[in-house]
Amino acid sequence: MSKLVMALCACAVSFYLMSTLFVKRDNAYLREGAGSFYPLVTVLQRGDKLEQIETDGNWYKVRTQNQQEGWIAANCLADKQPEGEVVEKISKSWSSAKASQSGLAAAIKGFAKKYGKANPGNVDDVYEHLQKNFTGSDVARFNMPLADYHSRNRGRLDIDDLDLDQPEYDPSFEEQGIGVGIAARLISKGIVTDPELVRYVNLIAAVVAQNSKVYDWDFTVFILNDPTINGFACPGGYVFVTLGAVKACEDESMLAAIIAHEMAHVIRRHGLQEMTKRLVDIKADQAYNELEEETGESDVDSELESMAESSYDIVVHKRLMDYETEADKISAILCANAGYDPTGIVRMDAKVASMADTNPDIFGDDFSLQNNPAERYNSIKKFVDNKFTGTDPGAQMKDRFESEIRK
């Protein structure tokens, strides 16, 4: 190749890499690395102009107008300035360099403590456990046996195929604050702190998420120290499974199915679905001022507190059958696309159905009144049998599961 051709190619590459992009979400996270589990650099707003530096899969390394560099998910970006008025979801100070991981955490913790009816110490405990003790390389190594497995179900179905009118998952700060408040109340019941086990379940969540449309959202899994089989999903990405649920699994695909099921509740906003319109009705500037100081707006206080309490009740008690069967289907799809055997959720539901009369809920009275385990099992079995193949279905990862659980 001549020097002139090489120079022209280099210029073309340089031009491509330095192209201009725009943020299309109301708030988007710029991170230190190409993955949702990397620390936050800053929060960007819709319409922000960015300079593209390089790409890594679905992640773009960019430079902001105030010269900050970091990685942002492709599904937050557009190649043209978004049309219409920019929604000021964050005050101007939050669009500056102050919107760091610590600053964002402080604001959301303040919201959770005020409206979540949780012990302030437990709110702090949530954030102590959010830091992931793994890197992008660790996730890649963990994913390797799944990626290498010849699964005929990977890519066979997507969540969009369920015709659920699914909005792009872009949780607001109010949603995250409510989720932290609920998570804090659940943590007060007692959680497993074994670092290896906690790391293991969070690696499963990371692999499931990165093979889906919500690859840019950071899900965090907590293990409740309780022998019953149960799980909970808090708005904003906080997933709880009981130690009993973990031990009831026979392989990793079953554990992935439980985690993916709870992730589905988060993605579909089942804990907030009935309150979405109420969120919109609250003025954004008032809501965000409430994160750090009193505004004297008692109607806003009352509305946000009511939403937080209602969301807690939905997460912990009101397990509607429609929500459960929907989450089961999404779990099968998420697991299949990650390379897992999608029958994991079927086998787990079968086990729960067989134990229903002897497995009371750890949080009391009416959890399962509207949730028939046998009906759930029949529904998901029919769905998986119809939509997925039993030949080379996906990895079960029994050996790795047993190795990790024995640690």
Instruction: For the chain, give the mean pLDDT.
Output: 79
Digit-coded pLDDT (tens) for 221-254: 999 999 989 898 888 899 999 999 999 999 999 9
Digit-coded pLDDT (tens) for 5-57: 444 444 444 434 468 999 998 778 899 999 988 888 888 888 999 999 999 98
Could you give the C-alpha distances from 365 to 316, 361, 362, 370, in angstroms and in order? Answer: 11, 8, 9, 12
Residue type, 395: A
Does residue 294 surpass a pLDDT of 60?
Answer: no
Lowest mean pLDDT among 70-79, 250-259, 270-279: 270-279
β-strands 238-242, 220-224 pairing: parallel
The reported pLDDT for the residue numbered 103 is: 61
Q: Which of 105-109, 124-128, 213-217, 391-395 has the highest mean pLDDT?
A: 391-395
Strands in 40-45's sheet, in edge-to-edge order, are 40-45, 27-31, 69-73, 59-63, 49-56, 20-23, 77-78
Question: For 87, left (φ over 0), alpha (ψ -120 to 50), or beta?
Answer: beta
First-to-final CA distance of the chain: 56
Number of alpha carbons in the 13 Å side-chain half-sphere of residue 187: 27
The token pair at 12 is: 């073309």
CA distance 311 to 112: 13
Of the two residues 168 and 133, the one the predictor is more confident about is 133
Could you give the C-alpha distances from 355 to 248, 287, 348, 371, 381, in angstroms and in order? Answer: 11, 44, 11, 14, 17
In the DSSP assignment, the letter for residue 212 is S
Does residue 277 surpass a pLDDT of 90?
Answer: no
The reported pLDDT for the residue numbered 246 is: 96
CATH code 1.10.260.40 for 3-92:
no
Q: What is the reported pTM?
A: 0.81
CA distance 374 to 25: 41
The reported pLDDT for the residue numbered 320 is: 73
* Mean pLDDT for the stretch of residues 84-107: 49
The reported pLDDT for the residue numbered 309 is: 63
> Any alpha helices (H) in 241-297, and if so which ranges?
243-248, 252-267, 276-281, 284-289
Domain with CATH 2.30.30.40 in the chain: 3-92
Number of alpha carbons in the 13 Å side-chain half-sphere of residue 365: 1
